[in-house]
Amino acid sequence: MELLAKLQQQLHALEDRQLIRKRRTVESPCGPRVTVDGRELLAFCSNDYLGLANHDAIRHALQEGAALYGAGSGASHLISGHGRAHAQLEGRLTQFVAAHLEAPRAISFSTGYMANLAVITGLTAGDREAEIFSEELNHASLIDGARLARVKTHVYPHADLAALETLLQASSAATRVVVTDSVFSMDGNLAPLPALLALCEQYGAWLVVDDAHGFGTLGERGHGALEHFDLRSPYLVYMGTLGKAAGVAGAFVAAHETVIDTLIQKARPYIFTTAAPPAMAHALLASLDLIEGAEGARRRAHLQALVAQLDDGLRLARWRRLPSKTAIQPILIGDNGDTMRAGAALYEQGLWVGAIRPPTVAPGTARLRVTLSAGHDRADVAQLITALNALERT
Ligand SMILES: *Cc1c(COP(=O)(O)O)cnc(C)c1O
């Protein structure tokens, strides 16, 4: 069949360029040690930054949620799928970021991908003249949100505020939406949010902050990037994910209540999808308590200590480290094949580190993406350091 032949040809082309991706099947819960093909591996590739994905209290809350509310929600939020657990979760999430917004309110989503599609299409709905200003290194879901919004989109160079200002100056759109990751997912560095926000306020633009990697890990109480930078503005639209540091699944958007009302009425990625299982929301309530409390603070401090340990221990000459102080610690190798070979050599030794290639990152910047978790201990990180230092010399 010709249609299949065409697909096969495309797959072969990917294979030739070392771009075929393979899934490994994990047989154990997410954690610092996972089992694949019956073999235990030390994993440095999940986004479970606080080590909560298999935490007793959250697992028990998930079981309790299932006992209280069953498995499925049965419908979208606007039909009959919006349960008490979702409402409680939204109330708690509103408290989390309330100090940074005006008339704050939050809504929950089943994934961050959906939340980003909803925010960007929702803020620009009904305004064909709206314009989007998107940071070059933004996550794919933000890029897709801008595509789905079908309005003019400008991509500004990474962290280049002068270039962004030139674009804002030249724009006469009434609705302007600046969109950025807070922690860049493949580089680990932070966006200059205070300066970005000042620019947005000056030009009357929304600032959409995707805090997928900051929520739970940044800020004294784990409230994320807004707490870390002590930001407060009615122009802020905040997106946090709940499947990374929070250890469960889902996401939320928090902003002025008028923005949230607009999303509920207009955002198709919110309206036309089944609400997440209420048990998930119930489990997240337990996760938020941990994040905000003493245990969360302990875990964040431990994570920071591991980041410092890695930083002190790595002695790399050829491979380049990126300047990151977060749990995301990329090691830039460049070539796709070299990166895959390095990843495979680590895997041989029982160390699972993500090897990231284009199109996830720019061509020529393939890298190992080490992610640390509060679930790791110092011996785990020491083992990784020894392996990386030795591998780079071979
Ligand atoms: C993971 C991620 C998302 C998507 O969140 P999911 O809940 O996994 O769908 C969005 N933005 C960024 C920056 C991410 O890293």
Taking the CB of residue 38, how many other CB atoms lie within 10 A of it? 6
Read off the pLDDT of residues 303-352 as tens digits, 9 standing for 90 and up.
999 999 999 999 999 999 999 999 999 999 999 999 999 999 999 999 99
How would CATH label the architecture of 19-48+295-392?
A: Alpha-Beta Complex (3.90)
**Cβ–ligand 1 contact at 296 (below 6 Å):** no
Which atom, in ligand 1's list, is nearest to the CA of 243? 7
Q: What is the Å distance from ligand 1's center to 389 Cα?
A: 31
Domain with CATH 3.40.640.10 in the chain: 62-292
Do the annotations mark residue 213 as ligand-binding?
A: yes
Rounded to an integer, the average pLDDT of 43-63 is 98
Rounded to an integer, the average pLDDT of 279-287 is 98
Angle at 96 between CA 94 and CA 98, to 5 degrees: 60
Which residues does residue 330 pair with via DSSP β-bridges, in sequence order? 369
Which residues does residue 107 pair with via DSSP β-bridges, in sequence order? 253
Q: Which of 47, 210, 241 to mutate to test the pocket of ligand 1 (most atoms within 8 A of CB)?
A: 241
Q: What is the Å distance from ligand 1's center to 144 Cα?
A: 12
Q: Which of 113, 143, 183, 371 to mutate to test the pocket of ligand 1 (most atoms within 8 A of CB)?
A: 113
Q: What is the Å distance from ligand 1's center to 22 Cα?
A: 20
Rounded to an integer, the average pLDDT of 106-122 is 98
- Whose structure tokens read 């020894």? 386
How are the residues of the chain apportioned to helix, strand and coil, as percentages rounded to the nearest 5? 45, 20, 35
Angle at 59 between CA 53 and CA 65, to 5 degrees: 125
Do the annotations mark residue 91 as ligand-binding?
A: no
d(CA 20, CA 26): 19
Read off the pLDDT of residues 77-105 as tens digits, 9 standing for 90 and up.
999 999 999 999 999 999 999 999 999 99
Read off the pLDDT of residues 214-268 as tens digits, 9 standing for 90 and up.
999 999 999 999 999 999 999 999 999 999 999 999 999 999 999 999 999 999 9
Taking the CB of residue 132, how many other CB atoms lie within 10 A of it? 26
Q: What is the Å distance from ligand 1's center to 343 Cα?
A: 23
End-to-end CA distance of the chain: 46
d(CA 219, CA 296): 11
**Cβ–ligand 1 contact at 135 (below 6 Å):** no
Which atom, in ligand 1's list, is nearest to the CA of 181? 13
**Cβ–ligand 1 contact at 116 (below 6 Å):** yes
Domain with CATH 3.90.1150.10 in the chain: 19-48+295-392
> Whose CA is closest to 51, among 34, 39, 63?
34
Q: Which of 120, 183, 210 to mutate to test the pocket of ligand 1 (most atoms within 8 A of CB)?
A: 210
329: helix, coil or strand? Answer: strand
Angle at 304 between CA 301 and CA 305, to 5 degrees: 90
Q: What is the Å distance from ligand 1's center to 251 Cα?
A: 8
pLDDT at 112: 98
Q: What is the Å distance from ligand 1's center to 324 Cα?
A: 19
Q: What is the Å distance from ligand 1's center to 239 Cα?
A: 10
pTM above 0.95, yes or no: yes
62-292 fold: Aspartate Aminotransferase; domain 2 (3.40.640)
d(CA 45, CA 296): 21
Which residues does residue 109 pair with via DSSP β-bridges, in sequence order? 251
C-alpha R_g of the chain: 21
Which atom, in ligand 1's list, is nearest to the CA of 139? 13
What are the CA-CA distances from residue 52 to residues 45, 48, 322 (Å)? 15, 7, 26
Q: Which run of H or of E encompasses 106?
A: strand 104-109
**Cβ–ligand 1 contact at 112 (below 6 Å):** yes
User: H helices of the chain, where?
Assistant: 2-16, 56-69, 84-97, 112-124, 140-149, 161-170, 193-203, 225-229, 257-266, 268-271, 278-292, 294-313, 336-348, 378-392
Residue 19 has pLDDT above 90, yes or no: no
Return the structure tokens found at 103: 């008339």
Residue 20 has pLDDT above 90, yes or no: no
